[in-house]
Amino acid sequence: MAKVPTDPFEFFGAWLRDAESTEPVDPNAMILATSTADGAPSARTVLLKAWDTQGFVFYTNLDSRKSAEIKANKRAALLFYWKSLNRQIRIEGTVSPVADAQADAYYATRPRESRLGAWASAQSRPLASREEFEARCAEMDARFPGDDIPRPDFWSGWRVSPASFEFWQGVEFRLHDRTVFTRSGEGWETGKLYP
């Protein structure tokens, strides 16, 4: 096995770069697991849109189920799985909102249709028919005829700040390699787990 980085963010960056060169669709896809205040879990796939040593950022409707759960319970988990590489990364930590300026900057990079969709979607709430949603999209298209579409105040980003990482590399005969990092003050403790 290759030498293991001592910084989990360096490790993450190396594996993400590998995934970006091998995964055909959405190498930045991650499973986000949240739970209600009383511990009922739920999970869904979201897209990683930014990351640095402060954490991992995704964007969503602030009235969605995931956002309601985050507001009730600031702890969450992420899972990246790249089947073609036989690798996964688990991250657990706390969640906080991104700054408005960061959300605005990302929102401005989205295709026009995606920005209109953010306005049109009452995410996670019941929808009578696909036609109803398409009608709402058409209404937003008429409301914002040009490219100047402001970010809705109910749409922004969340950052998962890690307290722990687990890097899992599949190995033949199920003799997998598991490396863990746990936050310790300003640094990280690292170790191995049995497969």
Active site residue ranges: 174
CB 72 within 8 A of CB 37: yes
- Which are the contacts of 73, defined by CB distance < 8 A and separation ≥ 6? 34, 35, 36, 37, 39
CB 7 within 8 A of CB 159: no
- With tokens 């005969």, the residue in question is 173
Question: Looking at this protein, which amino acid is placed at residue 49?
Answer: K
User: Any idea what DSSP says for residue 38?
Assistant: T
- Which are the contacts of 141, defined by CB distance < 8 A and separation ≥ 6? 116
Catalogue the long-range contacts made by 14-19 (C-beta closer than 8 Å, 24 or more residues apart): 15/80, 15/82, 15/85, 15/87, 15/89, 15/167, 16/80, 18/82, 18/85, 18/87, 19/80, 19/82, 19/85, 19/87
Q: How far apart are CA 153 and CA 41, in angstroms?
A: 27
